[in-house]
Structure 1
Amino acid sequence: MKKVVVGTIAGAVILGGAIGAGAMTDGFQNFESVNPAASEPSDLISVEEAQEKALAEYDGVIESIELEGKRDGYVYDLDIDNGDMDYDLYMDASTGDILRVEEERDDDDDNGSAANPEASTEDYISQEEAINIALEEVEGTLESVKLDSDDGSVVYEVEIDTGTFSDEASLDIDAVTGEVLEVDMD
């Protein structure tokens, strides 16, 4: 009698494990369909479209935009400065829908830089110009662009997915002159 009970329990455990393994395999297959691969940029709206949609809702200057992979897809993280307020927007990279907005009073002075206090944001090349300069320097797909102060000058930090062994290139481009200051291949 004990052998029958032990055999029944062992069979149930083995069957349960097989069913669980099958469910996990299907779960992994479904995960791929929910989270698009980074190598499929045609499914995402462009950086330019994301910028247009964000500026249609919020006035200001886009300081940075980054494409981020999340568990359930991709989002653009956009930072907008309109002088009095800073907006941090999270936008669905497939649809362009704004998912979340964080607002913060802008207490720092973004005009000028330590190296050139006379320079203002009006003197900077556009973000699109910086992207074009970067893509002329390194072939690939734009991942992010950010306006930042670096070593006393204002630069665009551009990251490009090269799709090669090194995978990513980071470029610093002078925001006033458009000169490529640094290229790092990661």
Structure 2
Amino acid sequence: MVETDRGSLPFALIHGEALVACAAWALGEAGVTPIDLATSWEAVVQSGEPFVLHDPLCPMTPAGFIAACVEAAVAREAVVVGVRPVTDTVKTVEDGLVGRTLDRDDLLAVTSPIVLPPAVVAALDDQPAGDFATLTTALAARFPVTTLQAPPEGRRVADLDDVRLLEGLTAARR
């Protein structure tokens, strides 16, 4: 579970539970073995297991989707990244002026999880963390990366308004 640089939002409530708790439960239901904060990266590498990074800001990501990402990472021997389609209008800025509109079909929003297959885990010097979009870019520079489209409930939240929206989206599925 990646909580670094996420402020207090992971501890906001959705359906009466902290986002971080919901995300942790999904990992458990997906069959992902949690590691203790004191576990060394060397021990993770020696386990020979894939490594799952899950963002508590994607608290309602279904366990079945997380498990499918782990399965794909192992089968493809590639980093697997959960993504969602971009629905906002995105413009370029050129010389301080608003430029052309980018085609949304060419864009993806990184969500969760990011799954590293064992070979990638072994090639890294330390446990990766941080912003998932930046991490995905860094991993793609070194390793094969594939994306899987997360279901709508796997969306990322950025503030309490997003949490309320996600809560409404997932209310009927509880």
> TM-score scaled to structure 1, two decimals?
0.24
> TM-score scaled to structure 2, two decimals?
0.25
* Higher percent of residues as helix: 2
For CA contacts below 8 A with separation 6 or more, give which structure has more relative contact order: 2
Structure label with greater radius of gyration: 1
